[in-house]
Amino acid sequence: MTKSEALFQRAVQVMPGGVNSPVRAFGSVGSVPKFIKSAEGAYLYDEDGNQYIDYIGSWGPMILGHANQEVLGAVAKACERGLSFGAATAPEVELAELVCSLIPSIEMVRMVNSGTEAVMSAIRLARGYTRRNKIIKFTGCYHGHSDGLLVKAGSGAMTSGIPDSLGVPAGCTQDTLTAEYNHLDSVEGHFARCGEEIAAVIVEPVAANMGVVPPKPGFLEGLRRLCDANGALLIFDEVITGFRLGIDGAQGYYGIRPDLTTFGKIIGGGMPVGAYGGKREIMELVAPVGGVYQAGTLSGNPVAMAAGLAMLTILKDHPEYYQELNGRAGRFYQRMQEILGKSGLPYHVNHVGSLGCLYFTGTEVIDYESAKTADTKAFAKYCNYMVSHGVYLAPSQFEAIFLSMEHTEGLLDKTLGQMEQYFCG
């Protein structure tokens, strides 16, 4: 028995499914998780000493690769000063200033501890600001696990076939309207029926929890227009796309200004951080200035702020990184497509910047319905092959591939070689 298998046997006795977050369980691909001991650059190392080229990157934050020395150094220094004070600190101000300077739509920001918390709070704020209750979300978009948003969510819920969670009272979701991603008419329909009750539309500007689905030209513009016409707020959930597609996220990439934005992942440099921000006029409704209550003992934690500050400073100081990463990623996904073409298999590759997904379907994936045509059993076989050959993929057809600055052409070629071996024999 491997050390990972032995740990998993112990883990399932004391943790539901042996994990602290469902997709980590590898159950959907019929295997057991590798227990990771350390990571460096583009590599993960498990408890058994196996090395993997990592394409999860902690589900997004590791855009600079694992164990970046500058980020680690900043964290070590912060630790020496104490782990938590529950009081205002300078690094909070510095990170907030940096975020406001990098994202034109953001004049004020509030730090929280996770993407879930950021989205939950942004929705409360949108409701408080508009004095309306209903929100529109898109089928297959995931916005964390708060009650009102666990409706037709993608990601883990989609992978495990749980459409909506047990334990969510109907009352919590009665104001959550669902529309179809990339289908503006489904949003127009809601606004036509009850536009004056809709507080906000929340969207992943690139849907990255049903694989990776780029917005069709005009889709995000259409959402902006509909929100403006109906007095609703547009919320971009940039927990995945923020500081990844570019320093100003998907909103910079596509040139659309949302009213509120939520962040997670990269903003914490690998530590538990989330944030929401937007126009001053809206943000000043958050307590203690305004009447929308939201709080957190560990929010703005000095160690987490130090990690985020170090990460964002590196990214800000190296705008060429995005060009390099997105260029390398473009070539990687193109070559992937060529391998699949050679194999004669009708699979599709979607990608935006460094985010990508290989769909096991002959159908072009543009929304939730088309994503669902993917053959998850065929994906499971492929995933297990790649992991057993040193390429660590997310154990779900509906998760994105995350590349980092540490994924050199050499490592990408090695990965493509494994794929070619699998698909073309």
C-alpha–C-alpha distance, residues 300 and 305, integer Å: 6
The reply on whether position 209 binds ligand PLP by CB under 6 A is: yes
The reply on whether position 395 binds ligand PLP by CB under 6 A is: no
The reply on whether position 367 binds ligand PLP by CB under 6 A is: no
Name which position in 4, 28, 114, 176 contacts ligand PLP (CB under 6 A): 114
C-alpha–C-alpha distance, residues 98 and 107, integer Å: 11
Q: Alpha carbon of 9 to those of 2, 32, 394: distances in Å?
A: 11, 10, 21
Residue 265 bears catalytic tag: yes
Q: Binding-site residue total for ligand PLP (CB under 6 A)?
A: 15
Query: Nearest approach, Cβ of 116 to ligand PLP (angstroms)?
Result: 3
The reply on whether position 399 binds ligand PLP by CB under 6 A is: no
Choosing from 46, 54, 237, 259, the catalytic residue is 237
DSSP state of 216: P
Name which position in 24, 34, 66, 143 contacts ligand PLP (CB under 6 A): 143
Q: Alpha carbon of 32 to those of 42, 101, 394: distances in Å?
A: 22, 44, 13
C-alpha–C-alpha distance, residues 408 and 43, integer Å: 11
Edge to edge, the sheet with strand 198-203 lists 108-112, 274-278, 260-263, 233-237, 198-203, 134-138, 176-179
Question: Interacting stretch for ligand PLP, rule CB under 6 A, among 1-9, 108-116, 244-252, 404-412?
Answer: 108-116
Q: What values do phi and psi take at 194, rounded to 5?
A: -150, 45
**Residue number, nearest CB to ligand PLP:** 115
Q: Which is nearer to ligand PLP, 119 or 405 (CB)?
A: 119
The reply on whether position 27 binds ligand PLP by CB under 6 A is: no
Are 12 and 18 in contact by the 8 Å Cβ rule? The answer is yes
Name which position in 237, 248, 259, 367 contacts ligand PLP (CB under 6 A): 237
Q: Which is nearer to ligand PLP, 91 or 144 (CB)?
A: 144
Which residues contact residue 164 at a Cβ distance below 8 angstroms, ignoring those fewer than 6 apart?
150, 151, 152, 153, 157, 173
C-alpha–C-alpha distance, residues 407 and 410, integer Å: 8
The reply on whether position 355 binds ligand PLP by CB under 6 A is: no
The reply on whether position 142 binds ligand PLP by CB under 6 A is: yes
- The amino acid present at 27, given as its one-letter code, is G
Q: Could you tell me the sign of the dihedral formed by the alpha carbons of 89, 91, 97, 100, in that order?
A: negative
Residue 142 bears catalytic tag: yes
Question: Interacting stretch for ligand PLP, rule CB under 6 A, among 99-107, 176-184, 237-245, 377-385?
Answer: 237-245
Residues of this chain, 264-293, that bind ligand PLP according to CB under 6 A: 264, 274
Give residues in contact with ligand PLP (CB under 6 A): 59, 114-116, 119, 142-144, 204, 209, 237, 239-240, 264, 274
Positions annotated as catalytic residues are 142, 237, 265
